Structure 1
Amino acid sequence: MMPVLVTSNFLDGIQCVLSSNASGCGWQKIGSFVNLGAYYLIGIPSSLLFAFVLHVRGKAKKAYERVYDSTIPIEITSCS
């Protein structure tokens, strides 16, 4: 999952900077088309591809086990 997240965050940062630069130069229409393309034409189809075609699933159960099976005591004691 990390390579997918790294790529996504990197490209999202580039898209945000370029969209802000275009907006600052007075090209708001170009920035809106970049946002439309980035999120709706690339983001949604790629998320559907990863979820339903490639079966890339989240690792929430492993993360839950890692947190709650740790050696740190998690008992709550009353202060009264």
Structure 2
Amino acid sequence: MGWYTNYEVEFEDNIDWDDNDVKRMLQRFTVQHLYLRDLNKPRVILSVYSHSPIEEILVELKSLYPTGIRYRVYDCSEVWITFCMQV
């Protein structure tokens, strides 16, 4: 058994969002996404199943969109976490 957690992910710069690329990338994870286009900085809401670590998903998003990323638990926290990839 598991649960879903909703995350809000914000990109530092404008990105050329492609639903098909993102869908392909997310196939190996249990996650749904909603891209928000009407904000100052591009954001996506990810509904992530507990067996899919958010860090692994962010690594994949960063490979598609090489810009700064920060995230937080959606509608639960005012604190943003800057995502830094471990080398």
Instruction: Provide the TM-score with structure 1 as the length reference.
Output: 0.26
When normalised by structure 2's length, the TM-score is: 0.24
Q: Which has the higher contact order (CA 8 A, sep 6+)?
A: 2
Q: Select the structure that is richer in strand.
A: 2
Which has the larger Rg?
Answer: 1
